[in-house]
């Protein structure tokens, strides 16, 4: 990997390690929205130089998880209510198009077109039971990506991916908020309901379930 700052080649493993570590810290809630991310402290925690850390910060800024403030460094992204609504609107449009394109569902090579959706939901259940919020959040994103993949439209998947990445921070915060409000299993139940709608084989039922599953569930949990 080449650093854009000075053209030097960085070991991919160092950049990947720094990126993975920082992404996990942001999504696990170790940093709150608006928190500054100090390069020196991050270098000390990782035991690495500034170059891979700066590259990791740049990559996560591209993903929308952190923001670069000119002459002030980086901070965890702050999403307004309007930002989240707009992103969910885009997600809903693409997911609805995916459903319309996918139904009626055709059997895949293993005979079950919903195999990836089921697998992601099971991974959510396992991580939730283990109290592993970070892995549950990862499975949560895979669940929604698997729904769009039902369309078989690669360009749609590519268009959907950056929206899902930008939403992963408020979505992760939502699942944690449900846990704090003694509603830990609500997130799993909502996704089980969505899978049931997909299993119905009826596109209208699936579209209605996606609409119920949308942004209100997040904004009602005091996500700012």
Whether 215 has a pLDDT exceeding 60, the answer reads: no
Instruction: Write down the pTM of the prediction.
Output: 0.75
**pLDDT tens-digit profile of 146-169?**
999 999 999 999 999 888 878 877
Whether 119 has a pLDDT exceeding 80, the answer reads: yes
CA angle in degrees (0–180, nearest 5) for 171-78-192: 5
Determine the average pLDDT of the residues in 89-102: 92
Q: How far apart are CA 49 and CA 68, in angstroms?
A: 19
Q: Does domain 12-76 have CATH number 1.10.3080.10?
A: no
List C-alpha distances in Å: 130 to 122, 125, 127, 174, 193.
12, 9, 5, 18, 22
**pLDDT tens-digit profile of 23-52?**
888 877 778 889 999 899 999 988 889 999
Architecture of domain 81-219: Up-down Bundle (1.20)
The residue that leads in pLDDT, 6 or 173, is 173
Averaged pLDDT score across all residues of the chain:
83
Q: How far apart are CA 58 and CA 66, in angstroms?
A: 9
CA angle in degrees (0–180, nearest 5) for 67-73-62: 30
CB 36 within 8 A of CB 70: no
The residue that leads in pLDDT, 93 or 134, is 93
Domain boundaries, the chain: 12-76, 81-219
């Amino acid at each position: 990997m080449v650093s854009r700052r000075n053209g030097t080649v960085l070991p991919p493993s160092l950049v990947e390690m720094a990126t993975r570590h920082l992404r996990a810290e942001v999504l696990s809630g170790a940093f709150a929205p608006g928190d500054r991310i100090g390069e020196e402290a991050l270098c000390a925690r990782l035991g690495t130089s500034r170059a891979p850390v700066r590259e990791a910060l740049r990559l996560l800024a591209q993903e929308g998880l952190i923001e670069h403030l000119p002459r002030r460094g980086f901070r965890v992204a702050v999403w307004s209510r309007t930002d989240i609504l707009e992103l969910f609107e885009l997600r809903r449009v693409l997911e609805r198009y995916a459903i319309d394109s996918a139904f009626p569902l055709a059997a895949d090579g293993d005979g079950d077109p919903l195999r990836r959706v089921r697998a992601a939901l099971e991974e959510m259940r396992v991580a939730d039971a283990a109290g592993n919020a970070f892995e549950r959040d990862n499975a949560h994103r895979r669940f929604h990506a698997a729904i769009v993949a039902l369309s078989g439209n690669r360009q749609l998947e590519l268009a959907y991916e950056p929206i899902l990445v930008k939403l992963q921070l408020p979505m992760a915060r939502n699942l944690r908020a449900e846990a704090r409000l003694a509603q830990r299993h609500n997130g799993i139940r909502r996704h089980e309901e969505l899978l049931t709608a997909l299993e119905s084989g009826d596109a209208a039922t699936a579209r209605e379930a996606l609409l119920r599953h949308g942004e209100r569930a997040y904004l009602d949990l005091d996500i700012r």
